[in-house]
Amino acid sequence: MEIKSRITVLIFLQYFVWGTWLISLGAYMAVVLKFTGVQIGSIYATMGVASLFMPGVMGIIADRWINAERLYGALHIIGAAMLFWASTVQEKDVDTMYIVMLFNAMAYMPTISLSNTVSYNILEQRGFNVIKDFPPIRVWGTIGFICAMWVIDLNHWSIKPEQLYVGSAFGLLLGLYAFTMPECRPAGTQKGGSIISSLGLDAFVLFKNQKMAIFFVFSALLGAALQITNTFGEAYLHDFGKIEEFKETFAVAHPGLLMSISQISETLFILTIPFFLRKFGIKVVMLMSIFAWVFRFAFFGLGDPGNGLWLLVMSMIVYGMAFDFFNVSGSLYVEMEADPKIRASAQGVFVIMTNGLGAFLGGMTSGIVVDYFTVGEVKNWLYIWLTFAGYALVLGIAFLAVFRYKHDPSKMAHFHH
């Protein structure tokens, strides 16, 4: 199999595993395990906790000691075992679920940046242009995520433990497949260097650069928004099933299919990134992302599965821009600004800020917001979603004011090692 196809399979499986449970587990925990908003939020926040240190630590190990593809494979095998364990958790047993999902997150979260490291590494070894050749491959990750959501939804597993069996089986498959990939040897040197650099914390020097520091802070604040619809989106749609007129609607019967429009939109927007980045630069692209979040939440809150279905669909479409223009562009921006010697660590720092600090903040605060607007069994979803939309709006105005960036199109054109 040609090398690009092999990387494509790896990326497809990377996100397929995540897609089996990421969007549906919140509803499963709410409906079947009877967890509260804060409990569900805190379990999703384990991804944030794990991302605070695991991608960094694993990035160092891959930069210095162990082949990236082997480390990657081992982590997926551990994650597969954790997902299987999670499927056995009983009603109201929050503590066990928390610990299992924390261990799962500690194994899974570093594989996101490692999958990029492995892909960039192999492409560069083979003389490909990463900025041109990686986005079309990365699209297959999103397609994998969508396929997983559809498998779970069409089999009506979104509030059943089966979603976790499927995730576990594919995690194991990916772990074994990773060991067959071309070698990605550690690039770092062993000689001399301070404690800081041997821990791989040298990427934190990027914070001395004011522009990068501001960029990383907003990455964290935007990362908070990212978690919210993952955590509560399907639970929200399942709640409409309690209302007579919406019981039989598409959105209630197939929340996973509806939510997957977000990911379909993502695949389309990802292909526009090289164009937008070259033409407008990172600041404008990030602003487009932030304001897309405002619409994402507002449309979600204002829509319903009946006449308001078009608003729910619009919310899903806008998500593609909201997610990609921040996540993928941000990763490319870091790749451009960081010294090659600390590149894997720098990607690690970006993940720490978005999926770490950000996801932790998002998981914890969104749970508090959901419980705040819950009376008895009833949640005031409109206020919940508009609160999140307001948050994104404030963020956009602040980013416009403080992030100073002069766009240099020529720098983009030459971004090829």
Q: What pLDDT shows up at residue 360? A: 92
192 located within any domain: no
In the chain, what percentage of residues exceed pLDDT 70?
A: 94
Residue 308 and residue 347: Cα distance in Å, rounded?
40
Confidence of residue 412 (pLDDT cuts 50, 70, 90): low
Domain count, the chain: 1
Quick one: tokens of 266? 């993502």
User: Would you say residue 107 lies in a domain?
Assistant: yes
Expressed in angstroms, the distance from the first to the final Cα of the chain is: 25
119 inside domain: yes
Is there a domain that residue 222 lies in?
Answer: yes
- The answer to whether residue 262 is domain-embedded is yes
State the average pLDDT for the chain.
89
Query: So what's the pLDDT on residue 61?
Result: 87
CATH number for the domain that contains residue 296: 1.20.1250.20
Three-class secondary structure of residue 378 per DSSP: strand
For residues 395 and 228, give the distance between their C-alpha atoms in angstroms, rounded to a whole number: 15
Q: Which residues pair with 396 in a beta bridge?
A: none
Beta strands in 35-130 (DSSP E): none
Q: Show the domain range for 394.
A: 3-183+204-413
Helix or strand run (H / E) with residue 379: strand 378-379
Q: Which residue has the tokens 């997150």?
A: 105
Q: Is the pLDDT of residue 195 over 80?
A: no
Residue 227 pLDDT greater than 90, yes or no: no
* Global pTM value: 0.85
CA pair distance 410, 24, nearest whole angstrom = 43
State residue 201's pLDDT score: 63
The dihedral of CA 97, 41, 33, 87: what is its sign?
A: negative
| Phi and psi, residue 349, nearest 5° | -65, -40
d(CA 55, CA 61): 10
- Residue 20 pLDDT greater than 70, yes or no: yes
Going 143 to 250 to 316 to 84, the CA torsion angle's sign is: negative
Does residue 417 carry a pLDDT above 60? no
Could you tell me which residues come within 8 angstroms of residue 132 by beta carbon, excluding any fewer than 6 positions away? 274, 416
> CA angle, corner 359, sides to 406 and 38, nearest 5?
145
Give the rounded distance of the alpha carbon of 105 from its chain centre: 12
- Does some domain include residue 189? no
Reference 331, options 317, 310, 318, 348; nearest CA is: 348
Assigned domain for 104 exists: yes
Beta strand 378-379 with 374-375: parallel, antiparallel or unpaired?
Answer: antiparallel
Q: Could you write out the DSSP letters of every residue in 71-93?
A: HHHHHHHHHHHHHHHHTTPPTT-
| Rounded mean pLDDT, 331-336 | 82
Q: Kindly tell me the burial class for residue 263, based on how many C-beta atoms sit within 10 Å of its own C-beta (0-12, 13-18, 19 or more).
A: buried
Residues 6 or more apart whose Cβ sits within 8 Å of residue 66: 186
Structure tokens, 114: 């490692």
| Per-residue confidence (pLDDT) for residue 282, from 0 to 100 | 83
- pLDDT value at residue 14: 98
CB within 8 Å of 332: residues ≥ 6 apart: 131, 273, 277, 415
Please report, for residues 88, 158, 331, 398, the alpha-carbon distance to residue 225 in angstroms, rounded to integers and kept in the order given.
30, 23, 17, 15
| Per-residue pLDDT at 122 exceeds 70 | yes
Mean pLDDT of the region 83-87: 97
Determine the Cα–Cα distance for residues 310 and 81; give it in Å rounded to an integer. 40
Residues 6+ away with beta carbon under 8 Å from 317 = 261, 262, 265
Q: Which structure tokens are listed for 9?
A: 């399979």
* Per-residue pLDDT at 150: 96
H/E stretch holding 281 reads helix 273-302
Tokens of 3: 């090398």
